[in-house]
Structure 1
C-alpha cells in the first residue's frame, strides 16, 4: 500500500538484488499513507534467487536491525512472507555519492571541495563505528554507490548484505570467500581471502581517491595506463608538485595546496599494500576533522595554482532549486562468478 502496489512509476533504482521503490508511511503508526503525506521510505524488494539472496537479506536485517548510528542508513522494517523479502529504509533524498561524483551534464555542478570533505568524514565515522571494539563488524563492500546522502549531504552507509563479524580473541582476520566489488577490494583479501578491518580501510582509500579525482576506480573508457585508478594515481600522490594531476580540475580555487596534499597523503596511507601501514578508521576520522577545520579557517583566502577562487553553484542552484533524486543500486557483485 505504501508503494501503491509497487507501481512502476515509484521505482527509485534497480539492480542485481531487485528493485527499490518509493513509498509513504505515517511516522508514528508506520501505516501506509497517501503519496506526499507522512514520511518517505525506500522499499527494497529482493528477487527470489534462493539462498544467497536470503543470506544477504538476513545479514542486512541482523546488522542494521541492531545498530543505530547517524552515519548508517536507518532500517525502518522488513518483511519475510513466503518467498517475499522486503527491506524498508529511510529515504535519502540526494541519492548516492556515485551519482554526485560521476554523473555528467551541463545542468549538473560537481560537489564542492568542502562537501567532499564532509561526505568523506561522515562515511569514515560510519566505518569507525562498525570497527569499534563494541561492534567489531567488517563492512566488506565500501564503495561510492553504497554511500547515501541526506538533504544536508550527511553521508550514511547502506547495504550490509556482505558485512561480516570481525575476528575474535587474538585472531587478526577472518577467512572467507572473496566477495565485494572489483576495484575496491584490498590486495591481501583478494590473494588470500583473509578479511580484516584493514580491508575496509583500503576500500576507503579507493573511495577517497575517487572523491579527489572524480574518476572511477575502474574505467575501461580511459587510456590503458589510466584504467585502474589506484595504479595510475599512486605515483603522483606523494609528490607535492604532481598531486594536482590527480585532482578534479573543476575544484580549482576551492582548496589550499596544503589541504589537497594532506588529503592525498591520507589516501596513499589507506592504500598501503601492507595492511600494517594503513591507519585505522579512528585515525582517518581525526585526520579528516583536522582537514575540515583548517579548510574552514582558511576562510577561502587561499588560491590554488595561482588561480583565483570562483563561487561555484550548488547542485540545487543549478537545478533551479530542485534537487535531482537518484537512488543508488546497493548491490553485491561477486568478484568471481
Structure 2
C-alpha cells in the first residue's frame, strides 16, 4: 500500500516538474521571438513595434530624436540667411551641419509646445523607405517648432526641370532617367498607401520629389498636412495656383483626400516630367487650357507629341512614350473611381522602364539607337 502511494506521489511530482519545464521552454521561446529583429520590405532590420495615432500599425522602430535649440542654432550658424534654402507651408527651411558631421534640413515655424506635435513626429519618423525623405526628429523651444529631416543634396525634380528661381534649366534628363525618377516616387507613395492605417500624402507635387546624388527619387513632406490643419486651397497667389493644379477635382470641390487623390497628383507630376513644363501653363499660346485640361480632352493622342519636352530629343521609343502618356491620362481621370491604385502605377512604370531598356541600345558614348515600336510620334521627329 505504501509502495503504491509512493508511486502515485512520485508520478504527480514528475508531472508537475514536466509542466514546469514546458512552461519555462514556452516562456523562453516567446522572449526570444520578441527580441529577434524582423526585416521589413524596406530592407530595415530594426525591431518592429506596434505604433500609430489611433490604430496599431506595424512599422520599423526608429525613435524620433529630440534636438535642443542650441544644437540646431550651431548647425545653422544661428539660423543664418546663408543657410536658408527655402520656405514651405511649414515655414523656413535651413541647411544644417550637426556636430557629428551629418547634413540635415531644418524646418522652423512659430508654435507653442504640443504633445500632439511630438506624437505625430514619432509616428512619421517610424515610416522608413528608400524613396521617402526620413524625418529624424523635432525640437520645441522658445515658442518655436522644428522638424529635422535628412538632407537630400541634389534638390527637387522641379529645380532640374525648370531651374532655380524659375530660370530655365539646361539639363536634358533623358527619358530613361525621368522614368527611373517616376518609379522611385511611385514606390514612395505606394509605401505610404500600404501602411495600416494608410497614410495619404495630400501634398504631392514635383517640388516635393527630391533626388540624391545618384538621382534616386525621394518623396518629401509625407504627412506634413497633419501638422498644418486645414489648408486653404483657394487664393490669388501664383504659388497657391501652382499647388492647386495637383489637387484632384474631389479635393478642390469637397476637400476629400484619399489614395486616389494622391494618384491624381502623381499623374500631374508625370505630366510635368514628360513635358518639362509646369502643368498650370497653357498648352499653347492659342489655348486657354492648362496642360492637365488639355490632356484630359485629347485622349485620342492626335497631337499629344506637341507637349513632349523637346530636350528629350531622340532618347525615347514611341512605344514607351505612348504607354507613359496613357498612364498619365488614367491617373488624371476626373473620376477617382477610374484612376488606378499606386500599386498598379508602380507595376506599369516598371514594365515601361524594362521595355524601354530592352528596345534602346546605347551605341558608343551617349548615342542612342532608338527602336520605334509605333508611328505615333513620327510627325514630331
TM-score by length of 2: 0.67
Unaligned residue ranges in structure 1 (runs of 5+): 26-31, 165-175, 310-337
Partner of residue 189, structure 1 = 251
Q: 2:161 & 2:289 partners in 1: Cα distance?
A: 17
Q: How many residues align?
A: 284
Asked if the contact 1:238–1:268 (Cα under 8 Å) also holds between the matched residues in 2, the reply is: no
State the secondary structure of the residue aligned to 2:224: coil
Question: Which shifted more, 14-23 or 298-307?
Answer: 298-307
Would you say 1:289 and 2:350 are equivalent positions?
yes
Partner of residue 61, structure 1 = 121
Would you say 1:157 and 2:157 are equivalent positions?
no
Q: 1:279 to 1:306 in 2, by over 3 A?
A: closer
Q: 1:190 to 1:63 in 2, by over 3 A?
A: farther
Partner of residue 119, structure 1 = 181
Unaligned residue ranges in structure 2 (runs of 5+): 1-73, 234-239, 362-368
Asked if the contact 2:162–2:169 (Cα under 8 Å) also holds between the matched residues in 1, the reply is: no
Q: 1:112 to 1:277 in 2, by over 3 A?
A: same
Q: 1:221 to 1:287 in 2, by over 3 A?
A: closer
Q: 2:116 & 2:215 partners in 1: Cα distance?
A: 27
* 1:291 CA displacement: 0.8
Query: Which residue among 160, 171, 196 is the counterpart of 1:100?
Result: 160
Query: Which residue among 67, 70, 77 is the counterpart of 2:137?
Result: 77
Partner of residue 13, structure 1 = 86
Q: 2:246 & 2:281 partners in 1: Cα distance?
A: 13
Q: 1:105 & 1:188 partners in 2: Cα distance?
A: 33
Q: 1:215 to 1:7 in 2, by over 3 A?
A: same
State the secondary structure of the residue aligned to 2:149: strand
Would you say 1:230 and 2:296 are equivalent positions?
no
* 1:94 CA displacement: 0.9
Matches within 5 A, 1:1-337: 1-25=74-98, 32=99, 38-46=101-109, 48=110, 61-103=121-163, 108-159=170-221, 160-162=223-225, 179=233, 181-219=243-281, 223=285, 225-226=287-288, 228-239=290-301, 241-300=302-361, 301-302=369-370
Q: 2:312 & 2:115 partners in 1: Cα distance?
A: 42
Asked if the contact 2:360–2:371 (Cα under 8 Å) also holds between the matched residues in 1, the reply is: no
Deviations 1:123-155 (A, max 9, x none): 111111111153401111110111111111111
Question: Which shifted more, 246-255 or 283-292?
Answer: 246-255
State the secondary structure of the residue aligned to 2:131: coil
Asked if the contact 2:275–2:308 (Cα under 8 Å) also holds between the matched residues in 1, the reply is: yes
Q: 1:59 to 1:233 in 2, by over 3 A?
A: farther
* 1:45 CA displacement: 1.6
TM-score by length of 1: 0.75
Larger RCO: 1 or 2 (CA < 8 Å, sep 6+): 1
Deviations 1:69-89 (A, max 9, x none): 111101122101231111111
Alpha-carbon RMSD: 3.1
Asked if the contact 2:182–2:270 (Cα under 8 Å) also holds between the matched residues in 1, the reply is: yes
Q: 1:59 & 1:222 partners in 2: Cα distance?
A: 48
Asked if the contact 2:124–2:135 (Cα under 8 Å) also holds between the matched residues in 1, the reply is: yes
* 1:290 CA displacement: 0.7
Question: Which shifted more, 85-94 or 57-66?
Answer: 57-66
